[in-house]
Amino acid sequence: MDTLETTAPPADATVGATVDARGLSCPMPIVKTAQAIKTVASGALVEVLATDPGSTKDFTAWCRSTGNELVEQSADGAVYRFVIRRK
What digits encode the pLDDT tens for the residues 32-44? 999 999 999 999 9
Q: Is the pLDDT of residue 2 over 70?
A: no
Summarize pLDDT for 40-68 with one digit per residue, the tens: 999 999 999 999 999 999 999 999 999 99
- pLDDT over 50 at 3, yes or no: no
Torsion angles phi and psi, residue 59, rounded to 5: -70, -35
Q: Where are the beta strands (DSSP E) in the chain?
A: 2-6, 15-21, 45-50, 69-76, 79-85
Query: Which value, in Å, is the radius of gyration of the alpha carbons in the chain?
Result: 12
Domain ranges of the chain: 14-85
Residues tagged active-site: 26
For the domain made up of 14-85, the CATH class stated in words is alpha beta
